[in-house]
Amino acid sequence: MVCRKLHASNRDVWRLVADQHGVVTRGQLISLGYSRQAINHRLKTGRLHLVQRGVYAVGRPELTRRGEWIAAVLACGAEAVLSHRSAAALWEIGSGEGARVDVVVPAATNHRRPGIVVHRRAWMEDAHRTSHHGIPVTTPLVTLVDLASVIASASALETLINEADKRGLVDPETLRTSLDDLPPIAGVAKLRTILDRRTFALTDSELERRFLPIARRAGLPKPTTGARVNGYKVDFYWPDLGLVVETDGLRYHRTPAQQARDRERDQIHAAAGLTPLRFTHAQVCYEPARVRGTLAAVAERLG
């Protein structure tokens, strides 16, 4: 009977170890029927290898990167999850450079482990954590918020947002909306600023109010707005110059079909002898000098 129970325990352990990328905890072994003496014997004989206090590699000491990540999470307690750069690497939107592993734990938790950067957080909710490849991890939304708190470069953060969008983890519009449900923690304000510049769309009246002074300073006369040209309604049209200006909202998340339609419109205008220009709403709002310079250069050429 004892032998049969031991075989059953062994099978359960190997299933657990396979799910946990070669790692098991002391508490898990005890819950599966292993005594402290049996665990210590396996440590002495090289069947278990200490990774962190109370966390062991099974069979051989070498772990994969995922094994290292889950070992760090298990070492920091039941409520710990992978976070920050390590979470980004698990989601495959960042490299997770460096040997140290980022883990987030509840604020009241007091864990210090070698090779682990422990982040304490009071606002962590169940909706902000998930599992990926069997590893407890912050959701893509929270991962990006955490990255915004530690990455100085806005362009680098924008690259990570684009990568998350490309992988179907979270689209920028949903990401921007979800930020409003989070408390004002580090990273939220910075991420909101970046997304506000790239995901909003102006109303027709607001667009005209912002764009027309830019065109005027570029030396252009007042355009026709909302005219139909070559079968399409265009945002701004200068018949005397043969210039059409279109503005695009939602820079991040334009589908291939939308992009194809935009190119077709531009090609039809060009084939009719017009010069099509395209700006994003964000450029009109946040980069007026660039828009003005482009308009002035094109108007000079056409004039």
Mean pLDDT for all residues in the chain: 88
The per-residue pLDDT for 9 is 63
Q: What percent of the chain has pLDDT over 70?
A: 93
How far is it, in rounded angstroms, from Cα 155 to Cα 41?
53
Amino acid residing at 197: R
Hey, which residues does 127 pair with through a beta bridge? Answer: none
Chain-centroid distance, C-alpha 224: 40
CA-based nearest residue to 215, from 244, 192, 186: 244
The per-residue pLDDT for 46 is 93
The per-residue pLDDT for 195 is 86
Q: Which residue is listed with tokens 């999850």?
A: 81
Q: pLDDT tens, 115-167?
A: 899 999 887 788 899 999 999 999 999 999 999 999 988 888 888 988 898 88
234, with CB counted inside 10 A (0-12, 13-18, 19+), is buried
The per-residue pLDDT for 102 is 95
Q: In the predicted model, is pLDDT for residue 301 greater than 90?
A: yes
Dihedral Cα 86, 91, 94, 97, nearest 10 deg: 30
Q: Which residues contact 269 (CB under 8 A, 6 or more apart)?
A: 229, 230, 232, 244, 275, 276
pLDDT band for position 22 (50/70/90)? very high
121 or 102, which is more confident?
Answer: 102
Record: fold of 204-302: Endonuclease; Chain A (3.40.960)
Query: Rounded mean pLDDT of 255-284?
Result: 89
Query: Rounded mean pLDDT of 193-211?
Result: 83
Q: In the predicted model, is pLDDT for residue 51 greater than 60?
A: yes
Task: Give all strands (DSSP E) within the chain, no chain letters.
Answer: 23-25, 48-52, 55-58, 81-82, 101-106, 116-121, 129-132, 135-138, 224-225, 228-229, 232-233, 236-238, 243-248, 275-280
Cα separation of the two ends of the chain: 96
The per-residue pLDDT for 5 is 44
Domain boundaries of the chain, sorted by first residue: 2-58, 65-198, 204-302
The per-residue pLDDT for 141 is 94
DSSP 3-state of 275:
strand
Q: In the predicted model, is pLDDT for residue 96 greater than 80?
A: no
Q: In the predicted model, is pLDDT for residue 85 greater than 60?
A: yes
Model pTM? Answer: 0.74
